[in-house]
Structure 1
């Protein structure tokens, strides 16, 4: 269920909440001057079950639920018998290792909200909720913890809290009622829902959650897709926990495309980088769909066989794209700020290598296609050659500064968004056996 959070005594917001939500929480603790008359009027306007938070002195208005802080006088929990009690614990500084202390209070529902310091904290919270026999709402606050709000029905939480619009946010990381209901199809999620996620750092600009969740709905899949920020240091602990929570697959972005390989059981594409993971029969499988997605996007514009292709970067993305480009007959020139990494990749793929700072020299020698495989703009766009083909792997925004500059020089351009869509099609073949 979705619970609308109301932070002031505005009857119009109550009417909106009646239309959008399954419950309403009146944050009486945030009202400026709550009076019995005002609270009675608001309570009467609610046509769905109501939670009072900070409104113990207004219990005569007969809320369906009352939120009682764990630190409250134990006598208050006894006083509220007859109303469904939510015992809540908030920790805004860190995530305690042990959370089951909350069950020391008598309540019908328990709520634990802690600050997420990493996605490891998020997984621990989801696992804690999933393993409880009593109804528990587990929330990790902050942008890192958004997944706990989305996945509540999947781990058995009775409901999640959401404002009507962004201006009503009263806790970091909250999504609006509309975002949860439409983007994530919240009301369709249940304990059988399959979990997928984008992992990497950063992930906030990726449109993957929009694209995948729309596709899941179109295909009639009981699945949901979230984004989780994960660093290379966190990855070894993250994957086993994610499997316990129930995650079935991942899209892997920078900087994890190489680091994830030794943590999997079966690698199906030998290019030195993985962007697609599936857990099946207790084994982790990995593929690289980046390369085929990128080359398919490029070859819709120009065939690469025999063409000189410059790759900016020598990381996981460049490995995937370079490996596929080599298979299709391109002549590769790898540029990287760290020349030794460029040389290593060039040796592996049978290409040339140069320092990123030497791009003007490389340009003078000529190229047909340039692909930026980095998250930034590592060259001066004034050095681009005219009338070539230029691709940027960045998917958001669709027209990057590099692509804009390339168009100014008469170049044909390929957006990273096209690559993203094409590689996602292949991901579905691996995740769901759906042919593109």
Structure 2
């Protein structure tokens, strides 16, 4: 007999998982989930089921399931599968039998592969629940079996053997597999499993690196994806909220054809880039207001520090045959790695923009219509836009102090010199400032100056390119310019801080207290993101929308 063909779902369902500590509270949360747009509920009964329940306690759970306003999954997860239930399997068997034979049973009951394999007699009794004969009344109201397996450490070494064993349990209508993602590449293995499914399949990666599997479930045909109602109510590591799935990632619009983008860095959990780029994608199409401006979704892609992890991960994303990966923002610590990867893959159609090559770092990857990949740096143009908006278009011959000698300072020096201004680099380590000035050449002049001369620079603008003043940074309460230097500044001297969190850094607070014109890091962030958006969508970026969004959240 030939193997069954692949199962194709009509739609991926959004399932809100609720850890039920109290039946009435759980029902209220289920109603709230329905009102917010969920398709189904998973009741985690680990806490609601005691080790030795009474008939009344069993009845409370049965009534909860019966009153649920959406189709639901009943799950009572034992400790050995990452749950909290510590009682005997016989109690769970009793619960599931009562639920399955109730007048209004749950649509699905989740049982672990390990439970079914541990005791043959127990398995026989559990599986016997899932037959039309076992149901009360209408056989259409029988519960369906979900067979699940979990690994909270990493991808199971016996992954394909587990799947084969799961398929042997005849009553199982749905399979679920979940493991802790150790890298973004784990998601690609799950997409492969979905492509080979023979029945409804839930395939999800846990942890921060597993977000692709959760958001892209509709693209690859996953039966459902789980969400929490609130960030504090997750039932598995890395679980997004329902609001994030619906409103940040616009999961209802994701199809097989949706293009994938992301921010690559470490860490990226707090990045605001997904907010901006997904909003840009979801604007109305200029010629068809029933369609989106761009069929894409933008996700955080945490990639651990180091060249090898970056090369392996980005290479896997770019080369995946059905992911439709089309671009990325690349941030700390991988901007230099992106340039190196482009050089390695030059023969495969990777093109490095001359500006990025001169800066020595890139922050943007974009696939072009001809299949080639463009690597560029949008930090430098963003700095130029910010300066011209505040100082006017005529930057030629002006003197601008750059504080720091890292990646942002390299972009700032190139931006300033290309605009015809003189870039004066100040760094606490004089040698680094001199090396940077020697490496970079532009239409203007780039020089290094001693750190102790910063207060005598007579600059018309100061650009902070260090993390001083950054929330969570090494010196969040300090400023790179001392107050005496600010006091001596001319009234039109511009103070530009590339730090955007917080928006009002100690440096900008001090400058504004002295009525000096300022540029904050949010401005730069918005304009570099706008340049990326235009590369990917081939449409003008909604800069005013970006501005409103960032000012609201930062």
What corresponds to 1:352 in structure 2?
Answer: 447
2:330–2:363 CA contact under 8 A, matched in 1: yes
Return the alpha-carbon distance in structure 1 between the equivalents of residues 375 and 184 of structure 2.
21
What corresponds to 1:14 in structure 2?
Answer: 30
1:196–1:247 CA contact under 8 A, matched in 2: yes
Q: Which moved more, 1:196-205 or 1:403-412?
A: 403-412
What corresponds to 1:56 in structure 2?
Answer: 96
Q: 1:132 to 1:369 in 2, by over 3 A?
A: farther
Aligned match for 2:314, one of 239, 264, 272:
239
Return the alpha-carbon distance in structure 2 between the equivalents of residues 16 and 409 of structure 1.
50
Q: 1:257 to 1:127 in 2, by over 3 A?
A: farther
**Which structure's residues are more often strand, by fraction?**
1
Q: State the 1:37 CA deviation.
A: 1.4
Q: Secondary structure at the match of 2:381?
A: helix
Q: How many residues are aligned here?
A: 433
Aligned match for 1:369, one of 461, 475, 484:
461
Q: 1:324 to 1:98 in 2, by over 3 A?
A: farther
Q: State the 1:318 CA deviation.
A: 2.4
Please show how residues 6-405 of structure 1 align to structure 2 within 5 Å: 6-8=18-20, 9=23, 10=25, 11-19=27-35, 20-31=37-48, 33=50, 35-54=57-76, 56-57=96-97, 58-61=99-102, 62-74=105-117, 75=123, 78-82=127-131, 83-97=143-157, 99-103=159-163, 104-106=165-167, 107-130=172-195, 132=197, 134-219=199-284, 220=292, 221-230=294-303, 231-233=305-307, 234-243=309-318, 244=320, 245-264=323-342, 265-270=350-355, 271=358, 272-280=360-368, 281-303=370-392, 304-347=395-438, 348-349=440-441, 350-354=445-449, 358=451, 360-377=452-469, 380-383=480-483, 384-385=485-486, 386=489, 387=491, 388-405=493-510
Return the alpha-carbon distance in structure 2 between the equivalents of residues 331 and 132 of structure 1.
61
Q: State the 1:105 CA deviation.
A: 1.2
Q: 1:298 to 1:124 in 2, by over 3 A?
A: farther
CA RMSD of aligned residues (A): 2.4
Return the alpha-carbon distance in structure 1 between the equivalents of residues 328 and 222 of structure 2.
23
Q: 1:145 to 1:400 in 2, by over 3 A?
A: farther
Cα-to-partner distance string for 1:320-376 (whole Å, 9 max, x where unaligned): 232122111121122345544432321123412246xx2x42222322212222334
Return the alpha-carbon distance in structure 1 between the equivalents of residues 282 and 530 of structure 2.
15
Q: 1:296 to 1:225 in 2, by over 3 A?
A: same
Q: Secondary structure at the match of 2:114?
A: coil
TM-score (norm 1): 0.91
1:94–1:117 CA contact under 8 A, matched in 2: yes
Q: Which moved more, 1:342-351 or 1:43-52?
A: 342-351
Q: 1:413 to 1:232 in 2, by over 3 A?
A: farther
Return the alpha-carbon distance in structure 1 between the equivalents of residues 233 and 385 of structure 2.
44
Return the alpha-carbon distance in structure 1 between the equivalents of residues 406 and 219 of structure 2.
35
Q: State the 1:99 CA deviation.
A: 2.4
1:381–1:405 CA contact under 8 A, matched in 2: no
Q: State the 1:92 CA deviation.
A: 1.6
Q: State the 1:291 CA deviation.
A: 1.0
1:310–1:332 CA contact under 8 A, matched in 2: yes
Return the alpha-carbon distance in structure 2 between the equivalents of residues 331 and 258 of structure 1.
25
Aligned match for 1:422, one of 505, 527, 543:
527
1:14–1:45 CA contact under 8 A, matched in 2: no
Q: State the 1:380 CA deviation.
A: 4.0
Q: 1:402 to 1:100 in 2, by over 3 A?
A: farther
Q: Secondary structure at the match of 1:395?
A: coil
Return the alpha-carbon distance in structure 2 between the equivalents of residues 285 and 178 of structure 1.
33
Return the alpha-carbon distance in structure 2 between the equivalents of residues 416 and 46 of structure 1.
48
Cα-to-partner distance string for 1:219-267 (whole Å, 9 max, x where unaligned): 4122111112222331100112112133210011122112101212101
Q: 1:99 to 1:397 in 2, by over 3 A?
A: farther
Return the alpha-carbon distance in structure 2 between the equivalents of residues 308 and 191 of structure 1.
52
Larger radius of gyration: 2
Return the alpha-carbon distance in structure 2 between the equivalents of residues 71 and 406 of structure 1.
63
Return the alpha-carbon distance in structure 1 between the equivalents of residues 481 and 352 of structure 2.
37
Q: State the 1:122 CA deviation.
A: 4.1
1:390–1:413 CA contact under 8 A, matched in 2: yes
1:154–1:193 CA contact under 8 A, matched in 2: yes
Q: 1:120 to 1:333 in 2, by over 3 A?
A: farther
TM-score (norm 2): 0.72
Q: Which moved more, 1:158-167 or 1:307-316?
A: 307-316
Q: 1:48 to 1:390 in 2, by over 3 A?
A: same
